[in-house]
């Protein structure tokens, strides 16, 4: 059995750890509230814009616009992988990395074998781990989190669009955690380029039969609207990931705090048992000494 001094030291260390995890949980809860509000406000706009782009696919005639919708022979692929800069958030980062490796091994195995899969990593944890595994990792935008600026997201979008238009990549896919609530993150991967057709209801199809009116002209408007839609999808994914990170960290720290409490209970019980044994031993020694003197 450990000595009382060792147990007291472990109790002190556990209390300090519990205070840290409790503080981290409160910080994450505060950040989560702000991040979740941002993604809730952003999501309807992003989804509506994405739907408009899909609905306009058949009306695209200009070559400058059709490039965004053309399905090419997929030879070169860009995966935009969104993780966090810090750990202590459970399986948040591990799940994204696992999904990325699975996509490369199964969906893009042929392209990876030819050396034509590039990972654009947003977040240090994913970039560092995937780079150790010898993947082709672009770290130019690795540190745009956790302070997320829309301009940074749009800068990444401009880079991705330019590479896609110039033929550097034939397909661009996002891998990230979609925020549902504090306890649930939905691991998601979705192709953002080329722009994919969405499934719509019969009522929506009927509504789409109406001819669109463009002012000043269709090409000029869509030249601005289509890239903005793609950049908005990247920004939405980054907001989703940020809110998911804070939710995962809050839950993880809450569980760690509970575990520390259970550990403290066991340590205090062990300390009391050790203290009681020491007292009993001392009493026995005193009684034995008295008996020896009397004898």
Query: Among all residues, which ones are annotated catalytic?
Result: 89
3 state SS of 151 = helix
Closest CA relative to residue 195, chosen from 159, 151, 165: 165
Other beta carbons less than 10 A from residue 32's beta carbon = 23
CB burial readout 125-137, b (16+ within 10 A) else e: bbbebbeeeebeb
Can you read off the two tokens belonging to residue 254? 């809450």
Alpha-helix runs per DSSP H in the chain: 4-55, 63-66, 92-102, 109-113, 124-132, 150-165, 202-208, 218-294
């Amino acid at each position: 059995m450990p000595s009382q001094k060792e147990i007291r030291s472990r109790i002190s260390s556990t209390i300090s750890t519990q205070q840290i995890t409790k503080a981290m949980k409160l910080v994450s809860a505060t950040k989560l509230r702000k991040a979740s509000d941002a993604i809730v406000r952003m999501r309807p706009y992003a989804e509506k814009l994405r739907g408009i782009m899909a609905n306009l696919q058949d009306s695209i005639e200009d070559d400058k616009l059709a490039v965004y919708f053309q399905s090419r022979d997929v030879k070169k692929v860009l995966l935009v992988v969104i993780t966090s800069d810090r750990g202590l958030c459970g399986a948040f980062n591990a799940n994204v990395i696992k999904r990325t490796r699975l996509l490369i091994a199964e969906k893009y195995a042929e392209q990876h074998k030819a050396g034509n899969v590039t990972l654009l990593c947003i977040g240090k944890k994913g970039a560092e781990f995937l780079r150790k595994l010898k993947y082709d990792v672009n770290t130019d935008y690795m540190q745009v989190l956790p302070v997320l600026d829309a301009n940074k997201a749009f800068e990444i979008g401009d880079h991705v669009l330019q590479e896609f238009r110039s033929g550097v990549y034939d397909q661009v896919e996002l891998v990230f955690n979609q925020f549902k609530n504090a306890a649930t993150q939905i691991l998601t991967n979705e192709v953002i380029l080329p722009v994919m057709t969405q499934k719509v209801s019969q009522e929506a199809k009927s509504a789409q039969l109406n001819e669109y009116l463009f002012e000043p002209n269709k090409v000029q408007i869509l030249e601005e609207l289509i890239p903005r839609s793609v950049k908005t999808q990247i920004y939405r994914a980054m907001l989703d990931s940020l809110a998911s990170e804070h939710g995962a960290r809050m839950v993880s720290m809450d569980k760690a705090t509970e575990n520390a409490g259970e550990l403290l209970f066991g340590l205090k019980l062990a300390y009391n048992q050790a203290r009681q044994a020491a007292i009993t031993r001392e009493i026995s020694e005193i009684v034995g000494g008295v008996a020896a003197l009397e004898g």
